[in-house]
Amino acid sequence: GGLLALLSQSESLSEVRKVLVDGGYTGEAFAKRVNDQLPRAKVEVVKRYELHTFKVLPKRWIVERSFAWLEKCRRLWKNCERLLNNSLQMVHLAFLSLLLKRL
């Protein structure tokens, strides 16, 4: 899933320097494919240390914060769109509105 998303958007992600992924994307094969498409990017895997203890994972909060911001968008609460592309465009519009508010 993650690799396909990167490959499909590799032209627009040419300036990306770091790709943060969770433990599901460990391994040299994934890192090599990312480096083939995005030569400047470095893959950084954020792993869980132990299953039953609570620790704040480094850089994980960036992703969680983004999802929390999306939860404020009422249009995304329920998926009422007929086409998957329409849902994707609503997510893009939600992030765009967040970025415009920060200007």
Quickly list DSSP for the chain: -HHHHHHHTTTTTTT--EEEEEGGG-SHHHHHHHHHH-TT-EEEEE--S-SSS--PPTTHHHHHHHHHHHHT-GGGTS---SSHHHHHHHHHHHHHHHHHHT-
pTM over 0.85, yes/no? no
Mean pLDDT by 10 residues, the chain (103 residues): 79 84 82 87 76 68 82 80 85 90 84
Question: For residue 11, what pLDDT is reported?
Answer: 81
Question: For residue 60, what pLDDT is reported?
Answer: 76
Question: For residue 79, what pLDDT is reported?
Answer: 75
Question: For residue 102, what pLDDT is reported?
Answer: 82
Question: For residue 46, what pLDDT is reported?
Answer: 75
Question: For residue 100, what pLDDT is reported?
Answer: 92
